[in-house]
């Protein structure tokens, strides 16, 4: 009786398992990317293509074949950047909208900057760059308030100020480019030709790299340190413009009248900006390692990772810039390398970070020695960037202070 009563129970259990097993293998397909995301990605790419077509149609008279090629090749790069880093989309659209609006306000009359309200106080190149400088300083203050008071809202305000500073800085650069053509077709050039202009570029690149890492690691703590070096660069730029009237647009010297400048200089300053950021992260690492504000700063592993990535990116672009510079030198001066002071110190910077990366990848360099080395690299890089112009002379003397 017991046996016969238990058998059906065991069979029903097995049957139940058999019934459940097939259903457990059924998987409902779900798309990895939501259709809305794909739609906005495609729309962003379409907007960039339309913008490039508009620029080619309206401003082709001011562009040679090289400029047009650069513009066309920039579209896939910006598209990929916008897909990979969503906040950059809003920045690109904002830069384009404000720059075109400023150009519309100017028309063909450069003197409108003296009496048109929006140009005079917001959208002329000088006004926009002054706004950039002020916003960077304010952002630095709020980052420190957020760090010291543990205020998330202060950190969020600092981040928005930094984004706004980057927006105004790029608008200032784009409008300055247009203003140079209003002065004269033979004067017009991309605004990366003197120390004042490249300092603006340095600030923008450093801030952009920082904002990417801020979003990636979800922390505002690094901003208090990275924005210090940007504020220092802003202070130098303001002093330089006041003492030397450097904000005035000048004709290109003959040595810079080359399309090589348009790719050599940006690549160079991506390297400089990344190296500067890694040095300030190194300062953060050393403070965390000694227990100073330790509970408010990111983990040492995060800081070490940011430092490594910054140096890696900077080294890659600095290598490209050095190669491009050699090709430019061969065209301009008849030789790839002349041991000019600027070239020599660029080589020293390159060797410094090449050895740093070698020691990390091959010897496993980590921790405090790695951070001190990255911080020391800032001294070498700063001398190559500014010191050579101040104390030495050579073929690159057009950037002399």
For residues 273 and 401, membership in a common domain is answered with yes
At which of 84, 112, 144 does a domain end? 84
Answer yes or no: do 261 and 366 share one domain.
Answer: yes
Stronger pLDDT, 247 or 274, i.e. the higher one: 274
Q: Is position 248 within any domain?
A: no
Distance separating alpha carbons of residues 149 and 151, to the nearest angstrom: 5
306/393 same-domain check:
yes
61, part of any domain: yes
- Does residue 73 sit in the same domain as residue 112? no
Q: Are residues 274 and 346 in the same domain?
A: yes
Neighbours of 352 (CB within 10 A): 21
User: Using 50, 70 and 90 to split pLDDT, how confident is the model at 397?
Assistant: low
pLDDT digits (tens, 9 = 90+) for 283-325: 999 999 998 988 899 999 999 999 999 999 999 999 999 999 9
Q: Name the more confident of 75 and 23.
A: 75
pLDDT score for 194: 87
In a domain, 280, yes or no: yes
> Is residue 206 within 8 Å of 273, Cβ to Cβ?
yes
The arithmetic mean of pLDDT across residues 268-292, rounded, is 95
Read off the tokens for 382: 């700063």
Given a cut of 60, whether residue 24 has pLDDT beyond it is no
Domain-located, residue 21: no
CA angle 379, 384, 388 (to 5 degrees): 115
Q: Residue 12 — pLDDT band, cuts 50, 70, 90? A: very low
Asked which of 237, 271, 292 is the last residue of a domain, the reply is 237
Domain, as residue range, for 69: 37-84
Can you tell me the distance from the alpha carbon of 280 to that of 275, in angstroms, rounded to the nearest whole number? Answer: 9
pLDDT for position 9: 46
Does pLDDT of 393 surpass 80?
A: no
Alpha-carbon distance of 377 to 353, in angstroms, equals 8
Mean pLDDT check: name the lowest of 82-86, 136-140, 333-337, 348-352. 333-337
146 vs 114: CA distance, rounded Å:
39
Asked if residue 26 has pLDDT above 80, the reply is no
Mean pLDDT in residue range 7-28: 47
User: Do 318 and 361 share a domain, yes or no?
Assistant: yes
21-30, 48-57, 137-146, 190-199: least confident range: 21-30
In a domain, 13, yes or no: no
Q: How many domains does the chain have?
A: 3
Q: What integer is the mean pLDDT of 84-111?
A: 93
Would you say residue 9 lies in a domain?
Answer: no
- Looking at the fold, whether 59 and 186 belong to one and the same domain comes out as no
In this structure, is residue 262 part of a structural domain?
Answer: yes
Give the CA distances from residue 41 to residues 79, 84, 85, 149, 259, in Å, rounded to whole numbers and listed in that order.
9, 10, 11, 39, 32
Q: What's the pLDDT score for residue 396?
A: 59
pLDDT recorded at residue 4: 45
CATH number at residue 280: 1.20.120
Q: Average pLDDT for residues 51-57, to the nearest whole number? A: 89
Do residues 79 and 135 both lie within one domain? Answer: no
Query: Which of 206-210, 211-215, 236-240, 305-309 comes out lowest in average pLDDT?
Result: 236-240
Does 68 reside within a domain? Answer: yes
Q: Which pLDDT score is estimated for 137?
A: 97
Confidence of residue 1 (pLDDT cuts 50, 70, 90): very low
Per the structure block, which two tokens stand in for 102?
């400023």
Residue 132 — φ and ψ, nearest 5°? -55, -50
C-beta separation of 375 from 282 below 8 A: yes
The model carries a pTM of 0.87
Indicate whether 370 and 258 sit together in one domain.
yes
Specify whether 177 is located in the same domain as 66: no
pLDDT beyond 80 at 99: yes
Burial 329-351 (b: 16+ CB within 10 A, else e): beeeeeeeeeebbbbebbeebbe
Who's near 162: CB < 8 A, 6+ residues apart? Answer: 135, 136, 139, 207, 210, 211, 223, 227
Give yes or no: residues 173 and 229 share one domain: yes
Q: pLDDT grade, residue 3 (50/70/90)?
A: very low
Task: Identify whether residues 196 and 315 lie together within a single domain.
Answer: no
């Amino acid at each position: 009786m017991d046996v016969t009563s238990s058998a059906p129970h065991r069979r029903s259990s097995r049957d139940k398992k058999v019934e459940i097993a097939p259903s457990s293998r059924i998987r409902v397909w779900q798309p990895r990317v939501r259709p809305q995301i794909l739609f906005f990605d495609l729309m962003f790419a379409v907007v960039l293509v339309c913008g490039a077509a508009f620029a080619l149609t309206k401003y082709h008279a001011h562009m040679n074949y090289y400029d047009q090629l650069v513009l066309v090749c920039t579209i896939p790069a910006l598209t990929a950047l916008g897909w990979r880093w969503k906040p950059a989309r809003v920045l690109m659209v904002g830069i384009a909208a404000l720059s075109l609006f400023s150009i519309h306000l100017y028309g063909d009359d450069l003197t409108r900057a003296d009496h048109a309200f929006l140009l005079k106080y917001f959208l002329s190149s000088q006004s926009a760059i002054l706004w950039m400088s002020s916003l960077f300083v304010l952002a630095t203050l709020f980052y420190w308030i957020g760090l010291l008071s543990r205020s998330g809202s202060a950190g969020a305000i600092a981040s928005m100020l930094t984004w706004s500073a980057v927006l105004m800085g790029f608008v200032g650069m784009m409008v300055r480019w247009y203003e140079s053509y209003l002065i004269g077709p033979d004067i017009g050039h991309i605004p990366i030709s003197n120390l004042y202009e490249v300092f603006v570029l340095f600030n923008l690149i450093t801030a952009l790299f920082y904002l990417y890492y801020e979003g990636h690691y979800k922390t505002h703590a690094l901003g208090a340190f990275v924005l210090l070096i940007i504020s220092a660069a802003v202070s130098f730029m303001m002093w330089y413009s006041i003492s030397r009237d450097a904000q005035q647009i000048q004709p290109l010297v003959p040595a810079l009248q080359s399309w090589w400048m348009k790719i050599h200089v940006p690549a160079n300053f991506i390297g400089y900006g990344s190296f500067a950021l890694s040095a300030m992260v190194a300062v953060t690492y050393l403070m965390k390692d000694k227990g100073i504000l330790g509970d408010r700063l990111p983990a040492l592993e995060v800081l070490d990772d940011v430092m490594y990535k910054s140096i890696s990116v900077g080294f890659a672009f600095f290598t490209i810039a050095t190669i491009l510079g050699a090709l430019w030198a061969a065209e301009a001066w008849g030789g790839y390398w002349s041991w000019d002071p600027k070239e020599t110190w660029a080589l020293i910077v390159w060797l410094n970070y090449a050895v740093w990366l070698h020691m990390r990848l091959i010897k496993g360099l980590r921790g405090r020695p790695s951070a001190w080395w990255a911080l020391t690299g800032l001294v070498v890089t700063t001398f190559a960037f500014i010191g050579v112009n101040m104390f030495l002379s050579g073929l690159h003397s057009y950037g002399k202070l």
